[in-house]
Chain A
Amino acid sequence: MLTTIQILLLAFILFAISRVFLRVKEKVLSTQTGFFWIVIWLAALVGVILPGTTTQLASYFGVGRGVDVIVYISLALLFYLVFRIYVMIEDLRHEITFLIRQLALQNSSHSSVKNRRKTSKK
């Protein structure tokens, strides 16, 4: 028999999986990224439906409780994802700067061409 928390988590995981499918279909996420998230959520699904598996995993890793091993893995994963996002934001900043620079230089060469035309008309 499922407990309330299991039902809630199950509903949430199914919702999350449906979002991944939708985003992949819209091509917002690549198939690879979609696959990564599906694996993560399916692992969570197994952990919720069969809590015993987490205990097995914990003993395999030499950790006391099933919940603990989940928390450890999740934390490591979260930190890594935050780092990836930080690097991605830095890359985006540089791309924006590159665009701003090209626009600035282009506008400056336009204005100097205009000035030259003006002076040659004089």
Chain B
Amino acid sequence: MKAVIIIPAFNESQVIFKVLESLPKKLDGITTVEVVVVDDGSSDQTANEAIKTKVNVIRHLLNRGLGAAIKTGFSWAKEHNADVVVTFDADGQHDPEDIPKLIRPIILKKADVVIGSRFLNKQAIPFDRFLLNWFANFATFVLYGASSTDSQSGLRAFSKKAVNLIDFKADRMEFSSEILLEAKKNNLRLIEVPIKAIYTSYSRTKGQKNVNAFPVFMRFLVKLLR
């Protein structure tokens, strides 16, 4: 079995080297682990920092957004015959030790999509983030009919079947909810596992800005009315 870890990155030169170094080289039940960084048109040294760690780096010439970067990663994974695909944030927000937990249900063929949820176990999460995530989960449920305790999580795992079937259109943050909708539409088995959320001052300033929530929500609506 082959696993591909997709790291979408936009201007993460400060931390990406450390994040890539921390990723597991071997995983139980997996014969090869390949890491692919999708540099989403960064204007800093993100790509060069990533190349230093000898992982695969592909570059978007222009910034197209997180959803677009993940989709490019999916295409790459398909081309390279991945059996399991993991998406992992480049800002150091996730704990690499959660990856085995995430892929186990897929290796055991118990699930097609595994969402790493920051809210399944009680842990310290900044209140504004908690509120925004609650709103995003609520909107995802109302608009798409897909319920999740963490619809916006960046740490997810997908089976080969899921990667082939899921086709999301959104280039930016709305893709997170779209993935859930696609999973539901294609009758994919979806489960959530608790993950650790590491909120550093860096990941707080780099991550989704709170004010972004409004345009994301608007595009969400337009997508439905279209």
Contact = CB atoms under 8 A, between A and B. Distances in A.
A93 B169 CA distance: 11
Contact of B72 (A90, A105, A109, A112): A105
B169 A94 contact: yes
Nearest to B225: A83
B76 interface: yes
B60 interface: yes
Contacts of B59: 104, 107
Which of B38, B58, B71, B171 is most buried by chain A, counting CB atoms within 10 A of its CB? B58
Interface in A67-116: 86-87, 90, 93-94, 96-97, 100-101, 103-105, 107-109, 112
Instruction: Tell me what chain A mostly uses at the interface: helix, strand, loop, or mixed.
Output: helix
Which of the four size classes fits the interface of chain B? 20 to 34
B108 interface: no
B69 to A, nearest CB: 9
Contact of A104 (B61, B169, B226): B61
B60 A101 contact: yes
Contacts of B57: 108
Nearest to B62: A100
Residues of B contacting A: mostly: mixed
Contacts of A97: 64-65, 68, 71, 171
A1 to B, nearest CB: 48
Nearest to B171: A97
Interface in B40-73: 41, 56-62, 64-65, 68, 71-72
> Interface extent on A, as a size class?
10 to 19
B79 interface: yes
A28 B78 CA distance: 39
Interface in B159-186: 169, 171
Contacts of A93: 171
A90 B222 contact: yes
B75 interface: yes
A103 B61 contact: yes
Given A100-B64, A105-B72, 8 more contacts: A90-B222, A94-B169, A100-B41, A101-B71, A101-B72, A103-B61, A108-B57, A108-B58
15 contacts: A86-B222, A87-B222, A90-B222, A94-B171, A97-B64, A97-B65, A97-B71, A100-B41, A100-B62, A100-B72, A101-B68, A101-B72, A104-B38, A108-B57, A108-B58
Interface of A: 86-87, 90, 93-94, 96-97, 100-101, 103-105, 107-109, 112
